[in-house]
Structure 1
Amino acid sequence: MSSHGAAIPMISTPCGPLRGTAEVPGDKSISHRALILGALSVGETRISGLLEGQDVLDTAKAMRAFGAEVTNLGGGNWTVHGVGVGGFAEPANVIDCGNSGTGVRLIMGAMATSPITATFTGDASLNKRPMARVTDPLALFGTQAVGRSGGRLPMTLIGAEDPVPVRYTVPVPSAQVKSAVLLASLNAPGQTVVIEREATRDHTERMLAGFGAEVSVEDTDAGRVITLTGQPELKPQTIAVPRDPSSAAFPVCAALIVPGSDVLVPGIGLNPTRAGLFTTLREMGADLTYENEREEGGEPVADLRARFSPDLKGIEVPPERAASMIDEYPVLSVVAAFAEGETVMRGVRELRVKESDRIDAMATGLRANGIEVDEGEDWWTVKGRGHGNVPGGETCKSHLDHRIAMSFLILGMAAQKPVSIDDGGPIATSFPIFEPLMGGLGAQLDRTERAA
């Protein structure tokens, strides 16, 4: 039984060329932040292109619980009437963030410096994930957290009565931790300084500036120094959410490994802190081009065209690139299986504490389907077999993890035999139109008890 209901076993069968246009959903990271910053503004924020996956819907529900008026106008268009910085009301019930680590950590940050108490929970997967990485720095503001052993959900946060500004160095690259601290600093007086040794996705800094916060970013010898002046009045915005590069990864990677494929993925956000996968694929020899490059809503955007690439080569992915593609390593490992030679991925410890232990989950499934994988605590190596030589034929566990589920379905499209997953239900958390979108390109995906 899955946390979202009955398990949905699925099977992916080797298919003919994938062709057409893949209109992937809006960016999940920006969608979460648009709702939260809209709720912390005074007035009406208008959002178009919002990702309407379950993770983001849970964040919308949470913002309502804290007192914001959040309205779905249809077609990805939403409005948020905010309550202002420090204006969150105490929620009447437990805040259920479902499967979303991003959602719960950002929301914790947003409420941490308001004098209210809130209890957070999630599904079976989220309740296993460590929250101390966020609650420890939030304690510096004066916030108290009480949860299960190991700093896990369900957890109650008691917001700081008299928050103080902090200076915090993020110990490991994490946009979630950085963003939680920055959101908490909004209701603290004075200047809060966050230092990250390695740059992570910078949507929070960009959007805070867009909403009128006084925020500066400086690259120094110590790392990236972000300074935010607290207690601003955030101004409502009109936000067009670019399409999600993490979702685009799936049709792009499928096109590269399925013979004869030619797929256009329009309007993809190419923020440098998010585009590491596409850089890596091109280094491997992928026929992947950027068309119609432009800027939308302060974010670089382009249309991606991906064509079948039979001569992919394994490479060593630079560890400093990990933060810009951390969610894409599972599907990269699938592409690596069809490349010639070894693909080495280092500096990826963060994958061990995502929705699942993604290194272990992918290594286990790839081995079952005939791919040799070596792994360590913060690295793994996929030994590619080259185009046409991946056996497939086995069932893989998704571990309640949407990216694991989709990655193995991509594997089945180009393997010699079909690949099954035990549960495709979690896909709805981030990419609710994955099945019809891939089917429209020519993929053969079926919900079937044969995959159980």
Structure 2
Amino acid sequence: MGPLTGTIRVPGDKSISHRSLMFGALAVGKTNISGLLEGHDVLATADALRAMGARITRHSENEWSVCGVGVGGLLQPEQALDMGNSGTSTRLLMGLIASHGIAAHFTGDASLSSRPMGRVIDPLSRMGASFHAAAASSGKETLPLMMTGCHPAVPIEYRLPVASAQVKSAVLLAGLNTPGITTVIEPVPTRDHTERMLKGFGADLTVEETGEGRVIRIRGDAELSPQTITVPGDPSSAAFFIVAALLADGSDLTIENVGLNTTRAGLITVLQQMGGQIDLLGKREVGGEPVADLRVRHSQLRGIDIDPAIAPSMIDEFPVLFVAASLASGTTTTSGLDELRVKESDRLSAMASALRLAGAIVEEREDGLVIVGSGGAPLRGTTAGPVATHLDHRIAMSMAIAGMVSSGGVEIDDTRPIATSFPVFESLLEKSTASLRCAPS
């Protein structure tokens, strides 16, 4: 494969894009958003908010506006809310609806319908919301689900049993329209876009560091003010190009305007520990979020034992990190990654199988992978049929990068799910590789 050189810009941050639309829908007035990610997941959020009364308009590529209904102003949706493949849309919208006196029918694709919703159902039920299976084939904690909000809801103090920004955000969003103070205790810090952005929109929210962890309090009956938001580049999308440039001999690639929120930047820290040359240029703040341009150069990586405490700050980036580890010198050990088993797929099992098929040496453990690197030698590539992505966009993109650093290429069963988070991924890669082959679908 040839080197990756020049300058690129990845699409807007998915987490911030979701929240920009949601908080804009709860503000009174017009919120303007530039750099919005226009992937399927974010568009599912936009459609659901329209169904509940918000006026959301696309003016040009990545430029949008939202005319909100105000906190407490969401309307009863007339039809089911189709969440597609988006767990973020589903869990955060459940939080919004939980403290409104309306009902909603949530549906999704086969992948989303297999993912657990109990982690948000539990705290939202304590606040007064109710949930019921919407079909004989569905369980009480998987889609399709019917939920009915409660108004007024009951403020709670909730200690997160697992590190999950989605659960934290769902409870805080329910707290916006709940009289009194709703408290979330976070033993392990997770991405904090919700806290940053709610403060920016005018919510009465405080964060306190204590011996128990981060204690986040939000006062209900909030009034949010419209904002002008610039969405930074998504670090989870940049991750694929960072790893590709580190692995491809002769690469010297600059990725502009990447969000570097400390709760999201774990991958860069780990890759630097592995010997990766990643320079952060022009550090600045955009819309309350730290950003920088990343200069990434080819590096010989070395295997390390990755501290499980860093996992929450790079949980979505582990699939592509596993690719980097498969070409490092020595052994990389990961642990504490139970959360990866309940993402769009079981990402530990899926990546272990896919990398083995491509020629890597991988041991799957209950909570992580152990990968013996090739010392920089290309992977063999797939010779026994395509790798199974399980409708998981990050598995598909990670194995596309694996194909770039293999001698025989990697065949992928289905690249269509990539559009959920990174619609232009393949076009950005086309100019630098011919090793990605998609099996007929």
TM-score by length of 1: 0.95
Residue 398 in structure 1 maps to residue 389 in structure 2: yes
**Which among 175, 182, 189 is matched to residue 172 of structure 2?**
182
Counterpart of 1:145 in structure 2: which amino acid? F
**Contact persistence 1:439–1:445 (CA under 8 A):** no
Higher relative contact order (CA 8 A, sep 6+): 1
**Which among 412, 429, 435 is matched to residue 426 of structure 2?**
435
Residue 37 in structure 1 maps to residue 23 in structure 2: yes
**Contact persistence 2:235–2:258 (CA under 8 A):** yes
Q: Report the alpha carbon displacement of residue 161 of structure 1 after superposing the two structures with TM.
A: 2.9
Q: Report the alpha carbon displacement of residue 61 of structure 1 after superposing the two structures with TM.
A: 0.5
For the residues of structure 2 that align with 1:237 and 1:218, how far apart are their CA atoms? 25
For the residues of structure 2 that align with 1:343 and 1:127, how far apart are their CA atoms? 33
Counterpart of 1:227 in structure 2: which amino acid? R
For the residues of structure 1 that align with 2:221 and 2:232, how far apart are their CA atoms? 29
Q: Report the alpha carbon displacement of residue 344 of structure 1 after superposing the two structures with TM.
A: 1.1
For the residues of structure 1 that align with 2:401 and 2:7, how far apart are their CA atoms? 17
Residue 407 in structure 1 maps to residue 393 in structure 2: no
Query: Can you list the C-alpha shifts for 1:310-347, whole angstroms capped at 9, x where unaligned?
Result: x2100111111000000000000000000011111111
Query: Can you list the C-alpha shifts for 1:368-391, whole angstroms capped at 9, x where unaligned?
Result: 122121222222211111112421
Residue 218 in structure 1 maps to residue 208 in structure 2: yes
Residue 366 in structure 1 maps to residue 352 in structure 2: no
Counterpart of 1:302 in structure 2: which amino acid? A
Please state whether the residue corresponding to 2:280 is helix, strand or coil: strand
Residue 266 (structure 2) aligns with: 276
Residue 299 in structure 1 maps to residue 285 in structure 2: no
Counterpart of 1:427 in structure 2: which amino acid? I
Q: Report the alpha carbon displacement of residue 448 of structure 1 after superposing the two structures with TM.
A: 4.7
Query: Can you list the C-alpha shifts for 1:76-108, whole angstroms capped at 9, x where unaligned?
Result: 110000001111000000000111111110111
Query: Can you list the C-alpha shifts for 1:202-243, whole angstroms capped at 9, x where unaligned?
Result: 000000000000001011110110010011110000000000
Q: Report the alpha carbon displacement of residue 143 of structure 1 after superposing the two structures with TM.
A: 0.2
Please state whether the residue corresponding to 1:259 is helix, strand or coil: coil
**Which among 297, 301, 318 is matched to residue 329 of structure 1?**
318
Which residues of 2 match residues 231-242 of structure 1 at below 5 A? 231-242=221-232
Counterpart of 1:68 in structure 2: which amino acid? A
Residue 12 (structure 1) aligns with: none
Please state whether the residue corresponding to 1:268 is helix, strand or coil: strand
Counterpart of 2:39 in structure 1: which amino acid? G
Q: Report the alpha carbon displacement of residue 445 of structure 1 after superposing the two structures with TM.
A: 5.4
Residue 5 (structure 1) aligns with: none
Query: Can you list the C-alpha shifts for 1:245-290, whole angstroms capped at 9, x where unaligned?
Result: 0000011110111111111100000000000000000000001111
Residue 345 (structure 1) aligns with: 334
**Contact persistence 1:114–1:160 (CA under 8 A):** yes
For the residues of structure 2 that align with 1:36 and 1:332, how far apart are their CA atoms? 31
TM-score by length of 2: 0.97
Residue 204 in structure 1 maps to residue 194 in structure 2: yes
Which residues of 2 match residues 114-263 of structure 1 at below 5 A? 114-147=100-133, 148-149=138-139, 151-263=141-253
Which residues of 2 match residues 9-88 of structure 1 at below 5 A? 15-88=1-74
For the residues of structure 2 that align with 1:35 and 1:443, how far apart are their CA atoms? 35
For the residues of structure 2 that align with 1:193 and 1:31, how far apart are their CA atoms? 25
Counterpart of 1:121 in structure 2: which amino acid? T
Residue 10 (structure 1) aligns with: none
**Contact persistence 2:13–2:233 (CA under 8 A):** yes
Counterpart of 1:374 in structure 2: which amino acid? E
Residue 11 (structure 1) aligns with: none
Counterpart of 2:165 in structure 1: which amino acid? A
Deviates more, 1:141-150 or 1:113-122: 141-150
- Computed over aligned residues only, the root mean square deviation of the Cα atoms, in angstroms, reads 1.1
Please list every run of 5 or more consecutive structure 1 residues that lacks an aligned counterpart in the other structure: 1-14
For the residues of structure 1 that align with 2:45 and 2:322, how far apart are their CA atoms? 30
* Identity between Structure 1 and Structure 2 (%): 55
Please list every run of 5 or more consecutive structure 2 residues that lacks an aligned counterpart in the other structure: none
**Which among 275, 297, 307 is matched to residue 285 of structure 1?**
275
Counterpart of 1:338 in structure 2: which amino acid? L
Counterpart of 1:142 in structure 2: which amino acid? G
**Contact persistence 1:118–1:158 (CA under 8 A):** yes
**Contact persistence 1:214–1:228 (CA under 8 A):** yes
1:435/1:323 Cα in 2 relative to 1: closer, same or farther (>3 Å)?
same
Residue 376 (structure 2) aligns with: 387
Residue 111 (structure 1) aligns with: 97
Residue 418 (structure 1) aligns with: 409
**Contact persistence 2:132–2:140 (CA under 8 A):** no
Counterpart of 1:95 in structure 2: which amino acid? L
Q: Report the alpha carbon displacement of residue 393 of structure 1 after superposing the two structures with TM.
A: 2.6
Query: Can you list the C-alpha shifts for 1:143-193, whole angstroms capped at 9, x where unaligned?
Result: 001122251000011001321111000100000000000000001001011
Q: Report the alpha carbon displacement of residue 446 of structure 1 after superposing the two structures with TM.
A: 5.2
**Contact persistence 1:402–1:426 (CA under 8 A):** yes
Residue 318 (structure 1) aligns with: 307
1:161/1:448 Cα in 2 relative to 1: closer, same or farther (>3 Å)?
closer
For the residues of structure 1 that align with 2:374 and 2:166, how far apart are their CA atoms? 36
Report the structure, 1 or 2, having the larger strand content: 1
Please state whether the residue corresponding to 2:301 is helix, strand or coil: coil
For the residues of structure 1 that align with 2:4 and 2:245, how far apart are their CA atoms? 6
